Amino acid sequence: MNKNKLSKIKNILGNPYFETNNFLLYNADCITCMKKLNEEKNTINLTITSPPYNIGKEYEKIMPVKDYVNWCQEWIKQIHNITDKNGAFLLNIGYLEIPEKGNAVPISYLLWDKTPFYLMQEIIWNYGAGVACKHKLSPRNEKILWFIKNKDNYVFNLDEIRDKDVKYPNQKKNGKLRCNTLGKNPSDVWQIAKVTSGTNRASKERTIHPAQFPIDLIERIVNGFSKKEDLILDPFMGSGTTAEVALKNNRLVIGFETNKKYCDEIIKRIRCVDKYQQTLII
């Protein structure tokens, strides 16, 4: 059982910063921890993460682009080492500037082939609102790279993520419904709102983290690319959205986060999940 995997991880890494029956959170560097886990092959079923973009956010220091790519290549290699033979890795990534080369270069262009994983597909996350630009097009999307370890055997739960926004749900052909009653097949463009900030327009799920995953985005990934009781990893856990969503959907989770302030914010969210789950049980 995957709960045994959590026990083995804890034996290797030691006591976490915080834990529940189904979740381990380490206030530690992900590369250091994942190297220690190398002896535990086939441990992780799905990794979901969004690393620093090397653009000067409060939680990162800007590196030369070459160094940034090398650093990404290292932690991605470690993820591959501990991923189950039929596991997957979904990487959300944005844009950065390459001096004298480009203003908003998709980081996916720099990383897609720097990994032993097989790139199954690129997903476009269209988030609708954002910064309004006067001298260039206003950015409204980021990329999600869907990597798999085995191109012939991987998890994809089509029915779990069908698009319910069907224009003509009752349309028939030869007396049969043309559209699946659960919804139409999802495309590789996902229109999901960002987590907004601001005094009057902040999202209800907003935390102190400046770059927060929306719950709707992670729910689609968790339900579409993993199974119940799978073990999910987020090596840059940030605000803890991956943990909250995974636990609510009956998965197990391990997370790494170097910033104690963010770790404490994650703990608040997970304690709320525990209360939510207890209410469901009652």
Q: Please determine, for residue 145, whether its predicted confidence score (pLDDT) is greater than 70.
A: yes
Name the residue among 3, 9, 39 with its Cα closest to residue 21: 3
As for how many domains the chain has, the answer is: 2
Find the distance separating the first CA and the last CA of the chain, reported in whole Å.
26
Q: Is a pLDDT exceeding 80 seen at residue 129?
A: no
Contact 76, 34 (CB under 8 A): no
User: Is pLDDT above 80 for 111?
Assistant: yes
Amino acid at 182: L
Are 203 and 66 within one domain? Answer: yes
Cβ pair 156, 87 in contact under 8 A: no
Residues 245 and 175 in one domain: no
pTM of the model: 0.91
Four-CA torsion 17, 263, 44, 215, nearest 10 degrees: 150
Q: What are phi and psi of 33, to 5 degrees?
A: -70, -45
| pLDDT of 236 over the 70 cut | yes
Task: Name the domain boundary from 190, 213, 239.
Answer: 190
Please tell me whether residues 9 and 109 are part of one structural domain. Answer: yes
Model confidence pLDDT, tens digit, residues 48-85? 999 999 998 888 889 999 999 999 999 999 999 999 99
Whole domain around residue 65: which residue ranges? 2-155+192-281
Looking up residue 226, the CATH number of its domain turns out to be 3.40.50.150
**Both 174 and 141 in a single domain?**
no
Do 66 and 11 belong together in one domain?
A: yes
Q: Are residues 151 and 78 in the same domain?
A: yes
Output the pLDDT for position 151: 96
- Both 25 and 131 in one domain: the answer is yes
* 57 and 177 part of one domain: no
- Boundary-marking domain end, from 165, 190, 215: 190
| Helices 241-248, 215-225: inter-axial angle, 10-degree rounding | 50
DSSP code for 117: S
Residue entry with tokens 């959907």: 249
pLDDT value for 279: 46
Half-sphere exposure of 44 (CA within 13 A, CB side): 26
Beta bridge partners of 92: 144
- Residues 257 and 233: their CA atoms lie apart, in Å, by 11
User: For the chain, percent helix, then strand, then coil, each to nearest 5?
Assistant: 30, 25, 45
- Which of the listed residues 146, 171, 190 is the one where a domain comes to its end? 190
Question: Nearest-CA neighbor of 251 among 100, 97, 12, 46?
Answer: 46
- The model's pLDDT over 5-30, given as tens digits with 9 standing for 90+, comes to 899 999 999 999 999 999 999 999 99
CA distance 46 to 148: 9
Same domain, 100 and 214: yes
3-class SS of residue 250: coil
Between CA 124 and CA 142 the distance in angstroms is 6
- 102 and 224 both lie in a single domain: yes
Are residues 214 and 169 part of one domain? no
Indicate if 32 and 140 belong to the same structural domain.
Answer: yes
The C-alpha atoms of residue 244 and residue 215 are separated, in whole angstroms, by 8
